[in-house]
A and B are shown apart, each in its own frame.
Chain A
Amino acid sequence: MRYETDVTVIGAGGAGMAAALSAHRNGADVILIEREEESGGVLNQCIHNGFGLHYYRKDLTGPEFKETLEEELATTNVKVLEGTFVLDVSKDKKITFVNSKGIHEVKTKALVMTTGARERHFNSLGIPGDRVSGIFTAGVAQKYINLQNLKPANSALIVGSGDIGLIMARRLHLEGIEVKGVVEILPYPGGLERNVQQCLRDYNIPLYLSHSVTRVEGKNRLDKVYVSQIDEAGRIVPNSERVFNVDALITSVGLIPSVKPVEFVRTGPGFITTNTNQTTADWIFAAGNCTVIFDLVDYVAREGEKAGKYAALYAKNEYVPEERITIKKGKNINIIHPSYIDPNESTKLYVRVSKVFQRAEITVEPLGIEIIEEEARPSEMIEIHIKSFKEKRIKEIEVSAHELG
């Protein structure tokens, strides 16, 4: 079958559902495509609360956040195709997809990519050892426990102290799995201080900072994990080895944006966009974890909403950017999103610093914006609001951070 539509959204996680809703509200015909049998993305498996504090001003669980979006979608004529996999996005704006009903094509005016991210797997770290079962990414362990009622371990070590790792430590502990520690290669925890307290200290789970797994061992199932201290140059500190007798290793060592199957726009590694979520192909917009990894679903939903709006306006020929200003990473900045600004529109700038600061001053030049952040660290995304600035003749903007004495 052939379809025609104004806006196609690929990926129905928090970003995609918000994008579809907002494109609809801005007057577009919308098709929302999801490869899983159920929409929601990561939200489905996060049964803890802490979602929606900004976006809905309510403390929701992941599934509750999703249901709120889903209920709104149900009142619209957005066509939601679940269990549907996109095979190809062509430069002439045709999208080919497959599902149990066959292979179909949509001719679209604009596209929003909200394909989320995948978890980096332990196998890709090149850490030596035996071929064993019992090594899971946090997301997989979370799916088994929260969605399938299956317990994949009796005792575990966790690698990675980002929020996901911390939340999983608590979850496993509460389900009767003995968590022998959380190992973090950096000298500071990757997640929020609140989570270190509530997920580790409250349960006496040790955190090993500046440590890394050096070897895994077992006969068919994991049985021992070797961990050593790592010095500042990334070398193993001699005689610092510890051995953990555990039958599972749960890893949370980063998320990698998914950009398949769009192959002809700039990525790095996520989609590179403007403040209006436009990629380097003017009809393709992107939002959420497929652009850059966000801390909170609230940001993701807000970005999705914006992408949906501009895609709808683009489809109606009501949004044509005239110029793009480059935003550059200056001193002590690790990540910046977006990469370009259309100065006629306002901007939410997301920044990650590259080291821990007691008190950081973050500057956006030459716009003269300065903000102060107490205890700024790489794990916490800093949000900066920039108003539209049509009158100024600016070619390039640079964001930097430095310590205030």
Chain B
Amino acid sequence: MIAVIGGGIVGGLIAREINKYIEDVYLFEAKNSIGTGITKGNSGIIHGGYDDPPGSLRAQLCYIGNQLYDEISRELSIEVRRIGSHVIALDESELAKINELEEKAAKNNVKEYRILERNDLFDMEPNLNADALMSFYCPIAGVTEPWKVAMQSVKSVELNGGKVLKNKKLVEVKRKDNKFELSFEDGSVYTADLVINAAGLYADEVARLFGDEVPAIFPVKGEYFLLGKDVKYVNSVIFPMPSELTKGCLVIPTVDGGYLAGPTAHEVKSKQDFSTTRDGLAEVKEKSLRLVPSLDFSRNVVKTFAGLRPESREKDFYIDIGKSSVIHVSGIRSPGLTAAPAIARYVVEYLIQEKLHINLEKRKDYISHVEKIPHFVDTDYGYWVRAIEQDPEAGEIVCFCNEVTKREIREAIRNGARTIDEVKFATRISFGECQGSFCVSKILKMICEETGLEPKDVLQNEKGSWIIDSEVRTI
């Protein structure tokens, strides 16, 4: 059996890639849901790959990953919107840096870019800061919903005979002959022939369980505002000129029509600190307003959130085979979600097959396409009407902001969603302006109906995130 530790976008895609050759794959995720680690709180950008340091593993894998997203989108039924990105020069000193970007792009073998003069730039993005002089425009950049990639990957694994187990936190490892005995927090034990560690922020700690050392991971927080879709701000991803440290604070259209402003980049002490801060949010406002001055932070805010980057001093991915012969996929910071499909191939084709000399053959019975029931409002009315004829619930809108039907919600629950957030990330309920005011109580009821859980046992997300304490009165 091959074990993958970690059900984020990286672990999910690696398990899927292995599953193309071997049925007996197990994916173990510590939390009670898939794709809710780093994969949940980030910018969601499929980067163009032009500005990673030439020669780094990041640069090597980012562009390939970008290209692989067409296939990911097709096979996993994921929405990828290639809306392009602009890096904006706001003054003379930044104009000079556009050349540096071109040089880097050349070294990284990225050819899909254009330098836009002011007029062309404003034709595309009329709401930019009027000082903008020029942009480095990359049409292959895009946005996606990273958690959906993780969720659909594990669905593909289950479809092809692999196992996906949640609430499985790896806590202890023993060597038995040539095998690994993996013990989980819930007391269960599994034996694996090969292990891939894709534990995100905790990849260094998981490596240590196997007696291996990888570069230490420290969390770097990124805070964001999510703005609603009633105002049109920009059409593509807007970057400031990048610094040594980060790509800066951006303005990003999301797949479902809203906007993100952020992220900040500040090192924090705890890998569990997902809080937003007064200073962080103020910084996002100030910096993003420099790019798009009309962003309305007093009336258009939907919510704020923070994500943590798994940073290492080397600032690069560390993907290698440890002394224990476990494969560690560590330090997967930005552009990790862009690179993720390429990382999966690197692990299977290069590390497993070439370096570990394990011969693998593609399965003949492998099913590459994973269906997803459509978001009906996005389909044409003829299709939708036929769906309603088959199942009237396809005509019942439950989430009014994002127009999600009862049928879509029921499907998510039947696919294993047990928490409000799992339904949310699968269907986009409660992502909109009302933040669930109209629908969460109905979703809670549906989860209970479908699974037999009591309302007090339905969680928002992780253990302890209860919603209902008890009944008001016993009847």
A residues near B (Cβ < 8 Å) are 35, 83, 85, 87, 98-103, 118-119, 121, 123-126, 128-134, 137, 139-140, 143-145, 148-154, 175, 214-215, 217, 219-221, 247, 256
Contacts and interface: CB of A to CB of B under 8 A. Distances in A.
Given A100-B396, A149-B475, A219-B464, 7 more contacts: A98-B384, A121-B434, A123-B435, A126-B297, A128-B275, A128-B278, A140-B436
A151 B472 contact: yes
18 contacts: A35-B400, A85-B397, A87-B377, A98-B395, A100-B395, A102-B385, A102-B395, A123-B302, A124-B302, A126-B297, A128-B276, A128-B277, A129-B275, A133-B466, A148-B455, A214-B278, A215-B278, A219-B464
Nearest to A153: B469
A152 B395 contact: no
B274 A130 contact: yes
B302 A149 contact: no
Contacts of A123: 301-304, 435
Interface stretch (B82-90, B138-146, B246-254, B438-446): B438-446
Contacts of A131: 274-275, 305
- Please give me the 3 A-B residue pairs with the lowest Cβ-Cβ distance, nearest first: A100-B392, A133-B460, A123-B303
B464 A145 contact: no
Contacts of B303: 121, 123-124
B25 to A, nearest CB: 30
A148 B458 CA distance: 15
Nearest to B467: A133
B468 A152 contact: yes
A133 B468 CA distance: 10
A130 B435 CA distance: 16
B441 A140 contact: yes
Contacts, number: 129
A85 B376 CA distance: 13
Name the prevailing secondary structure of the A interface residues: mixed
B448 to A, nearest CB: 10
Given A100-B388, A175-B472, A124 B435 contact: yes
B74 to A, nearest CB: 28
Contacts of A99: 395-396
Interface in B402-450: 403, 433-438, 440-441, 445
Contact of A150 (B377, B395, B471): B471
B364 interface: no
Contacts of A153: 469
A150 B471 CA distance: 4
B473 A149 contact: yes
A70 to B, nearest CB: 21
Most buried by A among B297, B304, B384, B393: B304
A234 B445 CA distance: 41
A87 B464 CA distance: 38
B281 interface: yes
Contact of A151 (B400, B471, B475): B471
A87 B377 CA distance: 9
B465 A221 contact: yes
Given A103-B385, A220-B465, A126 B475 contact: no
Contacts of A154: 469
Contacts of B281: 126, 128
A118 B275 contact: no
A150 B463 contact: no
Contacts of A139: 437
Contact of B403 (A85, A102, A130, A219): A85
